[in-house]
Structure 1
């Protein structure tokens, strides 16, 4: 659509001139791709909402062991409002990276 505008295609008319069929077809194809993506999004949202499974997050997807070491995985999912009364202490670790 940007290149159509740069080429001088008029706006808001029902019939476009024959000078712009290539860019117009490309723009139409892009809009079809957008519509397919939007439809797919709504299908995924619908399937997720009607699946009936109320799953919670894993205790700690980042830790191999069952002892989470970071504050965000030390609480239940979903966390309660104002879980931490004060900011947790952050320990800086040196890595080889």
Structure 2
């Protein structure tokens, strides 16, 4: 589109409406993002994750739940051997 034309031709009206609709969706999404960030920052400070989200299971079998939250830097010195366990 040349920059010297002050208005779009009627042939571009549909694309202009679609572009405007997409920008409104983006504005609503950005607004929701900042609302979630504000609610999260006010809800509590320095809360850690639960030891295991699988409350029913007493012995977690995956490595992510065997370390503390937040995990220490280089939690495993070498690759751990994962064996299948029978429950």
The answer to whether the superposition gives a TM-score over 0.5 is: yes
Compared with structure 1, are the counterparts of its residues 88 and 28 closer, same or farther at alpha carbon in structure 2 (3 Å cutoff)? same
Q: Name which structure has the greater RCO, CA cutoff 8 Å, separation 6+.
A: 2
Match of 1:24?
A: 16
**Over the residues paired in the alignment, what is the CA RMSD in angstroms?**
2.1
Count of aligned positions: 84
Q: Secondary structure at the match of 2:44?
A: coil
Alignment of 1:53-72 (within 5 A): 53-62=45-54, 64-72=56-64
Unaligned runs of 5+ in 2: none
